[in-house]
Structure 1
Amino acid sequence: MSHTNAIQLDAVSKSFDGFKALSEASFVACWGEVHALLGENGAGKSSLMNIAAGLYAPETGSLLINDNLVRLKGPLDASSQGIGMVHQHFKLVKPFRVAENILLGLRTDQALSYRKRLQQTAEQIKATAAKLGFSIDPFARVDQLSVAEQQRVEILKVLLAGARILILDEPTAVLTDAEAEKLLTTVKNFAHQEGAAVILVTHKMNDVMRYADQVTVMRGGRTVASLKPQSVTVGELVKLTVGDAPTPPQVPASRAAGEVKLQVQDLHSSGSSSTALRGVNLSLRAGEIYGIAGVGGNGQSELANALMSLPEPVTGEIRLTGEGDIRMLSPARRRQLGIACIPADRYSAALAAPLSISDNFALGEIHSGRYGPFWFLRRGRIDADTAAAVREFDVQGVRSLQQKAALLSGGNAQKLVIAREFNRQPQLVIVHSPSRGLDVRATLAVHERLRSARDAGAAVLLISEDLDEVMALADRIGVMSAGRIIGEFAQPADRQAIGQAMVNHV
């Protein structure tokens, strides 16, 4: 097994809009190793890896591949050097099919017809997916896939393009325990048996301890440590990464929940997607968190969309106590009723990335008249409310309330969404994968907000493909499979029984 340097970044600096994202950061990954990269949201991990992937150019410093100095002019240059990055926020063309997305990144025989090249790509997809331990329909439209399935497409895309240096940004954030184990075992084999280099950007300490050969820790745009994970305990690694993070409280064994707040009855998707809803039934009470667990692609996204009034044609009923069926209610009326929604994809469904932070915050109250009429908004009041929320919810990286929301790191963008949704005390909270891609500290902050909402009497529906998250938060757990709830578990629940229900039900 060769352990010479595959990729090396030395003294790299990078600024955005006057903010120094990287300050002389360094990183070295070797062939034949899985190298984990740890740090809080905004620590500079993604910025550093985006430089390695050719998306950003460094202001200072150097990049070496195989100990040779290279200057990447863009992602195609990086790809030609054997570098492939699977981003936390995917780079897929949503209306295209899986095979069409992957074909975009391949160098194929142009003498063949497009149809023939597409067919060859589809066969490669099936073969590589089988080798990785999952199956995916090469002719499914990407916008009809779950977040977890889209991630798999991204991994296939870079591997089929010939990546030998594979950068995975939060790869297990949306996977179940069994899926994560399969994926990480596969990439570990890819590194150890085929001599590739795998860089794992993650916040899951157990993944680092179990699968990484080396770990580098970043904080505030700088590299603070590089060591073998086996040489430290999980607690020491957490402290090195985020400082003294508070211990999350344990879920109480049972809680006295209030009246039924939300009743979902016989919900079906009218689309023909393989992930369609096929008769979802559930009830949610005031003062409880109901967690929905399941393997990605079993209808969770469709259920979240239907409950959040995102485009999802459904039949059946979604009844809110005192209001009746709310399927056709406008977003403004939903907000009046105290319904808060936190979607899985914060950038495409919760924030308007090109708009300012204050504009994004104000969107939640525009219809209420708090900021005046549409044609004469009271900017002073908007900015004052936004500033107060940014302080209260600890949104970091805000240099100006007028900066674009797109410039916030994933964790801080999520905090902004939660600040807006919890600005009024919500009565019903619908949340999908709330801590996807967040570090330990940001995850605990999000979880604390959800617990606080429950304790204040709100009904909270948590949909998450992270079983750890569901187990830590939920008072009751429903398992979703093949488009319906196939079992319910009261806390304290048997994790193994839930896992079995998730993977064994047909």
Structure 2
Amino acid sequence: MANDDVNFSTRKGEIHAICGENGAGKSTLMKQLYGVEQPNEGRIIIKGQEVKLTSPQVAIANGIGMVFQHFMLVPSLSVAENITLGIEPTTGLKFDTKKAAEITKSVSDKYGFDIDPAARIRDLTVGVKQKVEILKALVRGAEILILDEPTAVLTPQETSELFVQLRALREAGHTIIFISHKLGEVKSLCDRVTVIRRGHTVGTYNVKDVSESDISRLMVGVNVESKVPKGKANPGPAYLVAKDLELFDLNGKRVVNDISFTVRSGEIVGIAGVEGNGQEPLVNAITGFSGGGSGTLSMGGFDIRSMSIHELREKGLAYIPEDRMSTGASGTLSICENMIADKVDWKRYNKGLLLNQPVIKEDTDKWIKDYDVLCDGGNQKVGMLSGGNIQKVLVARELTGLAKLIVCDQPTRGIDVGATDSIRRRLVNMRDSGSAILLISADLGEILNLSDRLIVLFEGEIVAYFPDVSKVTEEELGYYMLGVKRMSAGQIEGAYSVQ
């Protein structure tokens, strides 16, 4: 049962955090408040009146808006067109562009959001897209605003700006429900926090009365360290080598511009950058999802530009993708089938013409326990799990193989503090066992904690390189990510280190 006798209430004019492990029931509760799902029992009361939220449209009519982690915007349309989508002003039978712009500017000015109504969504930064989503909800009369992991892809500067605007909304009388695994942000922004564990409400607390450690302990039932203990790396030779690499999108636009870097065995190299600055095409090139371009890309001394994904796997590639469902796991297959998808040709799992099912079950049961996957057993369909538990399944699959190079793209996004701690510790252990690890993450705390060396991408170029990550602050990193600061070519050339 996703929610079992959950009690939750929020006040007018407060920012209220919802915290809990993956699979704790947060998403189910929010879907019920936004009308996506209906409760089997219990009541939902707004302003003293019991309501039946049978759809998002009914929720919106009752003053509830929701901004999802993955934006629901049309890239080719303007800000004004997106904001008025579904409530379009018209002149006769035509869309009234001028009126849409006036509506957008009016609500933008009212809440202090400086956004150009005529700008195309595809040309906006992630932070501005976030604001457009919030304005969409406000235009529709949202008094209660549900934000699902709103800072997951923002720089520190963008996060600070968002918090200023959220506090202004609170002062204007709006209620904000803030779902986040970043407990520092909960402490900084929120008035109260409700903790949910295993489908039950643990309690509601004034944020000023609880520490981050208190919240994490309430979430998972044990103490969790905020930083993963990590000794000094002892790197070997370069295992992944990118030299003078240029990549192009389907329209022929250059998206990675003449970058050179290496990842050595026994080290973690982090890549920081606002999403959309070359990380995706770079990862796709390394993992065999796209080809083309120019320059050198090799793994273990082998040119990988023309290798198939199967050949890359045989050379020791493991890949934790950003999109856990599109490229990470198959929702229609069982946990067991997903766990061994990269191992089906292992001798351990083959018994003549058939797979050795008892051995596969034995290993899968062990991995489910080791990675704390909340499920009904190895035969359960992956699509029935929460997002965080799906992530645990694919991380378990990738880290239990024969990985020599691990490409981790947002490995802990949307994961609770307990699972995050476990995954980060395992990555450090893999590093210490000699694996080369490339870490791409929007979580700057994660990047700074785990990385031995760090590069920053902006508009497809390396704009900063830090050989000693211990001396870097999140604020400084943010300036390079936004393109405000840039290092010289001489400072950056250290990213290409073959020794």
Distance verdict in 2 for CA 1:485–1:116, change over 3 Å? same
Distance verdict in 2 for CA 1:126–1:463, change over 3 Å? farther
Secondary structure of 1:449's counterpart equals helix
* Superposition deviation, residue 282 in structure 1: 1.0
Q: Is the 8 A contact 2:65 2:138 kept in 1?
A: yes
TM-score by length of 2: 0.86
Q: Is the 8 A contact 2:256 2:460 kept in 1?
A: yes
Q: Is the 8 A contact 1:106 1:160 kept in 2?
A: no
Deviations 1:359-381, CA, capped at 9 Å, x for gaps: 22232224667655999655555
1:422-441 paired onto structure 2 within 5 Å: 422-441=399-418
Alpha-carbon separation, structure 2, partners of 1:429 and 1:391: 22
The aligned counterpart of 1:355 is 333
Whether 1:182 aligns to 2:161 is yes
Secondary structure of 2:8's counterpart equals strand
The aligned counterpart of 1:502 is 481
Alpha-carbon separation, structure 1, partners of 2:58 and 2:94: 24
Alpha-carbon separation, structure 1, partners of 2:79 and 2:279: 24
Secondary structure of 1:277's counterpart equals strand
Distance verdict in 2 for CA 1:75–1:401, change over 3 Å? same
Amino acid at match of 1:282: F
Alpha-carbon separation, structure 1, partners of 2:213 and 2:418: 14
Whether 1:493 aligns to 2:474 is no
The aligned counterpart of 2:180 is 202
Alpha-carbon separation, structure 2, partners of 1:25 and 1:301: 39
Aligned residue among 59, 78, 85 for 2:59: 78
Q: Is the 8 A contact 1:479 1:487 kept in 2?
A: yes
Whether 1:139 aligns to 2:139 is no
* Superposition deviation, residue 24 in structure 1: 0.9
Amino acid at match of 2:72: L
Q: Is the 8 A contact 2:89 2:95 kept in 1?
A: no
Distance verdict in 2 for CA 1:418–1:500, change over 3 Å? same
* Superposition deviation, residue 308 in structure 1: 2.4
Q: Is the 8 A contact 1:276 1:483 kept in 2?
A: yes
* Superposition deviation, residue 53 in structure 1: 0.6
The aligned counterpart of 1:61 is 42
* Superposition deviation, residue 33 in structure 1: 0.9
Secondary structure of 1:249's counterpart equals coil
Aligned residue among 179, 194, 211 for 1:233: 211
The aligned counterpart of 1:317 is 296
* Superposition deviation, residue 346 in structure 1: 0.9
Q: Is the 8 A contact 1:275 1:299 kept in 2?
A: no
Distance verdict in 2 for CA 1:110–1:120, change over 3 Å? closer
Q: For structure 1, which segment, 173-182 or 329-338, has the greater mean C-alpha deviation from structure 2 after superposition?
A: 173-182
The aligned counterpart of 1:107 is 87
Q: For structure 1, which segment, 65-74 or 127-136, has the greater mean C-alpha deviation from structure 2 after superposition?
A: 127-136
Alpha-carbon separation, structure 2, partners of 1:149 and 1:264: 32
Aligned residue among 273, 276, 296 for 1:294: 273
Secondary structure of 1:23's counterpart equals coil
Deviations 1:306-340, CA, capped at 9 Å, x for gaps: 2223347543332112212x123211111111101
Deviations 1:186-213, CA, capped at 9 Å, x for gaps: 1121122x21110001121211111111
Whether 1:307 aligns to 2:286 is yes
Q: Is the 8 A contact 1:26 1:223 kept in 2?
A: yes
Distance verdict in 2 for CA 1:483–1:162, change over 3 Å? farther
The aligned counterpart of 1:412 is 389
Distance verdict in 2 for CA 1:298–1:184, change over 3 Å? same
Alpha-carbon separation, structure 1, partners of 2:53 and 2:23: 24
Q: For structure 1, which segment, 292-301 or 166-175, has the greater mean C-alpha deviation from structure 2 after superposition?
A: 292-301
Distance verdict in 2 for CA 1:316–1:441, change over 3 Å? same
Alpha-carbon separation, structure 2, partners of 1:51 and 1:474: 39
Alpha-carbon separation, structure 2, partners of 1:387 and 1:34: 41
Q: For structure 1, which segment, 421-430 or 159-168, has the greater mean C-alpha deviation from structure 2 after superposition?
A: 159-168
Q: Is the 8 A contact 1:176 1:295 kept in 2?
A: yes
The aligned counterpart of 1:4 is none
TM-score by length of 1: 0.85
Amino acid at match of 2:382: A
The aligned counterpart of 1:403 is 380
The aligned counterpart of 2:453 is 476
Q: Is the 8 A contact 2:121 2:129 kept in 1?
A: no
Alpha-carbon separation, structure 2, partners of 1:360 and 1:32: 45
Unaligned segments of structure 1, at least 5 residues: 1-19
Alpha-carbon separation, structure 1, partners of 2:132 and 2:255: 20
Secondary structure of 1:37's counterpart equals strand
Distance verdict in 2 for CA 1:291–1:370, change over 3 Å? same
Secondary structure of 1:307's counterpart equals helix
Deviations 1:395-451, CA, capped at 9 Å, x for gaps: 12x103232212212221111011111221310010111111111111101101110
1:149-164 paired onto structure 2 within 5 Å: 154-164=133-143
The aligned counterpart of 1:45 is 26
Q: Is the 8 A contact 1:366 1:374 kept in 2?
A: no
The aligned counterpart of 2:425 is 448
The aligned counterpart of 1:458 is 435
Alpha-carbon separation, structure 1, partners of 2:357 and 2:106: 54
The aligned counterpart of 2:17 is 36
Aligned residue among 22, 35, 44 for 2:3: 22
Q: Is the 8 A contact 2:268 2:431 kept in 1?
A: yes
Deviations 1:266-309, CA, capped at 9 Å, x for gaps: 22231259892222221111100001112333222232222223
Distance verdict in 2 for CA 1:313–1:189, change over 3 Å? farther
* Superposition deviation, residue 138 in structure 1: 4.9
The aligned counterpart of 2:221 is 243
Aligned residue among 158, 165, 190 for 2:144: 165
Q: Is the 8 A contact 1:266 1:317 kept in 2?
A: yes
Alpha-carbon separation, structure 2, partners of 1:176 and 1:386: 38
Secondary structure of 1:257's counterpart equals coil
* Superposition deviation, residue 95 in structure 1: 8.0
* Superposition deviation, residue 214 in structure 1: 1.3
Over aligned residues, Cα RMSD in angstroms? Answer: 3.3
Q: Is the 8 A contact 1:174 1:436 kept in 2?
A: no
Amino acid at match of 2:294: T
Distance verdict in 2 for CA 1:118–1:434, change over 3 Å? farther
Alpha-carbon separation, structure 2, partners of 1:101 and 1:418: 39
Secondary structure of 1:261's counterpart equals strand
Whether 1:258 aligns to 2:236 is yes
The aligned counterpart of 2:490 is none
* Superposition deviation, residue 244 in structure 1: 2.3
Deviations 1:113-162, CA, capped at 9 Å, x for gaps: 66655993699389849944678995355xx9997776566445434443
The aligned counterpart of 1:392 is 370
* Superposition deviation, residue 350 in structure 1: 0.6
Unaligned segments of structure 2, at least 5 residues: 487-499
